């Protein structure tokens, strides 16, 4: 996990919480808060609010 750059501390905390439940999480490069939240909700589906949808932002 030392090669991962987190957007901020919130992204770090969310990713670590998801990692506790699923140690094989895919991650490399940088982790945004939005992606960390997606991984967290994937690990803990009961925490996901109704209507939550992960939207990927494509860079042109």
Residue boundaries of the structural domains of the chain: 5-47
Count CB-CB contacts under 10 A for residue 12.
17
C-alpha dist (Å) from residue 8 to 13, 39, 45, 49, 50: 9, 16, 23, 22, 25
Output the pTM of the full model: 0.76
Q: How confident is the prediction along the chain (60 residues), in pLDDT tens digits per residue? A: 568 899 999 999 999 999 999 888 877 789 999 989 989 988 998 888 887 777 665 444
H/E element holding 31?
Answer: strand 30-31
């Amino acid at each position: 996990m030392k090669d991962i750059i987190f957007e901020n501390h919130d992204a770090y905390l969310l990713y670590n919480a998801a990692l506790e439940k699923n140690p094989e999480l895919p991650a490399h490069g940088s982790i945004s808060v939005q992606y960390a939240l997606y991984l967290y909700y994937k690990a803990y589906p009961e925490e996901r609010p109704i209507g939550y949808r992960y939207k990927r932002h494509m860079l042109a």
